[in-house]
Amino acid sequence: MHKTQKTTTPVTRRGALKTLGTGVGALAAVSAVPGFRFSQAHGSEPIRVGFQVHRTGIGAAYGRWYDRTTQAAAKRINDAGGINGRPLEIIAADDGTDPKRGAEVVEKLATQENCDVVFGTLFSHVVVGSAPRAGELKIPYFVVSEGHHVASGILNRYTLQPGITDVKSQVEAMAPFVVNNLGKKVTMVFPDYAFGHDHRDYFSAAVERSGGSIGALIPIPPTETSFTKYFPNIPQDTEVLYHVMVGPAVLTFVKELGEFFGSSGPQLFGFIDSLEAVDIGSSGLEFLNGSHFWEGFPRYAQADQSSHDAAYRAAVGVDANGASVSDPQDVSTYAHMFGCWETLNVIKAGMEAANYRGPNDRTALIEAVEAMNQIPLSDDHPQGSKLFNGKSHQVFGHQYISKVADGRLDLVHTTSIEDTMYPDEVDYTTQSF
């Protein structure tokens, strides 16, 4: 190698700089010509959907399944002819489940990757950290987060949540069931950040409206790895322990809950978040038998499974137990990830209604989604029928309550959409773009 270099013309510093300069100049010239990309690829250029994904950090298990669901949904849309005749391209970027990086990822997807929209964020602190940047960049930001922050009005007109219901509607629909069937004195254990605070505020208020009372509120940092020390704060007269936990240590959390109570203890009502991506048959979880869980979408295929659920499972690669078809140990985040599938279908419907052609039509896309209302149960929306509220940018839908029996979750109650509704807190349509 050394020899050949010596015999050929040596690369001088000046020469290298010249070549580099020409290259940069050419590049600048190309990008300066308006419509260069467009004229070259009009009609066939893909619609670029930026996917902000928690590949690493505390949301990694969710991120893995959000990714699989998104890829499956995009493939299905492309197999059926794409959006307005153009293929859909998913451009994923990892935000490390970190709010600061979240805002950077939104910026990168919007300005460097030239995405048409950004979508897919789950963890509420990342959404709250990223949404203002999306608003400044004027790029539609479709979150799949559950947090109440969209409907609460603290975000902006560019942020929408059309594919998954929010915590406030979920917990308000759960409270009557908990108080009437499990017990009136409730103690709550929840993660100490925005998502957990939504649980704390709206569930405790709803319990009191339903005639129950709150014994204690126990916050736990989402990065915690050891939990026994928090449990003695649960009052002795607690009838129902309401638990919701997130992060990599959820299995430890539930195990230590079992070790704490043994065979005695209160009724347990959990949000499935405490067990997302965790096998219910894991050793140490036997005590969960007979306890109840909220599920956004039943993990185990039920006896009356709809054809839509079956088709969705097959497309994503999830078996009847909610685990990957290729690895039964790899349990999905089934109660949440449908939100990616449904949100992509909303983006598709919105772009078709707005006759979306490019970034200039972004506001038309938002207006088209805001105009949506009834969303029927279908292969596009396998979780159930929904109502979209264009004013609060939030969708409302059915909630499911399951009971653990013989190492699986069986559906025992489905709420109506009306059970989950609450008065509007914001009207984003009055904000200017």
User: Nearest distance from residue 273's CB to another protein, in Å?
Assistant: 15
Residue 82 lies near another protein (rule: CB under 8 A): no
Residue 57 lies near another protein (rule: CB under 8 A): yes
**What are the structure tokens assigned to 232, written together?**
């003695």
Non-local (6+) Cβ contacts of 79 within 8 A are none
Distances (CA, A) of 2 to 11, 14, 193: 13, 21, 59
Q: Which of 73, 161, 44 is nearest to 345 (CA)?
A: 73
User: Nearest distance from residue 341's CB to another protein, in Å?
Assistant: 22
CB nearer to another protein: give 224 or 379: 224
Residue 231 lies near another protein (rule: CB under 8 A): yes
Residue 262 lies near another protein (rule: CB under 8 A): yes
CB nearer to another protein: give 9 or 329: 329
C-alpha–C-alpha distance, residues 433 and 132, integer Å: 13
Q: Which of 31, 259, 325, 371 binds another protein (CB under 8 A)?
A: 259
User: Nearest distance from residue 89's CB to another protein, in Å?
Assistant: 25
DSSP string across 87-131: -EEEEEEE-TT-HHHHHHHHHIIIIIS--SEEE---SHHHHHHHH
User: Nearest distance from residue 339's CB to another protein, in Å?
Assistant: 20
Distances (CA, A) of 130 to 82, 100, 142: 28, 8, 11
Residue 252 lies near another protein (rule: CB under 8 A): yes
**What are the structure tokens assigned to 86, written together?**
């153009």
Residue 55 lies near another protein (rule: CB under 8 A): yes
Q: Which ranges in 199-272 belong to alpha helices (H)?
A: 204-209, 250-261
Q: Which of 104, 107, 136, 224 binds another protein (CB under 8 A)?
A: 224
Residue 63 lies near another protein (rule: CB under 8 A): yes
Residue 56 lies near another protein (rule: CB under 8 A): yes
Q: Which of 101, 88, 164, 152 is nearest to 348 (CA)?
A: 88
The single residue listed with the structure tokens 């670029």 is 48
String of b and e for 107-129 (b: at least 16 CB within 10 Å)?
Answer: bbbbeeeebbbbbbbbbbbbbbb
Q: Which of 15, 22, 229, 325 binds another protein (CB under 8 A)?
A: 229
Residue 239 lies near another protein (rule: CB under 8 A): no
Residue 154 lies near another protein (rule: CB under 8 A): no
Residue 326 lies near another protein (rule: CB under 8 A): no
CB nearer to another protein: give 61 or 395: 61
User: Nearest distance from residue 277's CB to another protein, in Å?
Assistant: 8
Answer for the pair 170, 206: CB distance below 8 angstroms, yes or no. Answer: no
Q: Which of 71, 84, 152, 282 binds another protein (CB under 8 A)?
A: 282
Tell me the backbone φ, ψ of residue 421, rounded to 5 degrees: -85, 150
Kindly list the residues in this chain that would bind another protein in the complex (CB under 8 A).
55-57, 60-61, 63-64, 221, 224-226, 228-234, 236, 248-249, 251-252, 259-262, 264-265, 277, 282-284
